[in-house]
Structure 1
């Protein structure tokens, strides 16, 4: 998971890319669920899911470009034999989470998935600013597992 700032207000948390894998002859989908964590006080602005074909090697079919394609979160296919479905949002004691499940039915191309979540942090002043600072520090505590640790 990475957090980046794209402008003064919206920050982005990114999970992935992670390999989805290959399906079992179009009958059983390969799948992976990606979850990213945000500060507990964050407000989610948008959720974006992306899928791409991995570069194919000898003997693999060519299902199209290896460029990232944005996948709708309602199960529609952004390209053949794959889709993404939103799995919800929630909170833990110290963080807010967003989860998306990715599916691929291609038996000859491996695919990768990536999840991006845009969010706002509240802009409090005075006594509330200390609470916000503590919340931001807590969600980045390595022992809680919400930081940039590989899975």
Structure 2
């Protein structure tokens, strides 16, 4: 699993001109599920997302998590994170999970974060979405379970 995590002051996602998910301070997570991702990959991404210390403390150091600041998460499914553009000019997406598997893992990710007490808003799986955000910092990190598992 791959997640692009951005610290935001606010964010929202639109589908067909309608806002379907919206947060204030927190994180936007663009989440890609790879073929063969397991519960261990899911657990890693959930734990890393909610405990990642990327919010500033009183001394201006990144020392607080989304849990610590009472922030929210806007989770957006994005299979293109699994794109491989090393050859040719068109990316290949053969490592991305099939939609049936990906939606199950994406929904489990959202559910498990909510179970930790964090408010999570979402986009609509497989929809054409317009994502709007105000990146704070900017702070953007790539989480990839295949790099550690």
State the TM bucket, normalised to the shorter chain: 0.3 to 0.5
Greater strand content: 1
Of the two, which has the highest radius of gyration? 1
Question: Greater helix share, 1 or 2?
Answer: 2
Which TM-score applies when normalising by structure 1?
A: 0.32
Answer 1 or 2: higher relative contact order, Cα 8 Å, separation at least 6.
2
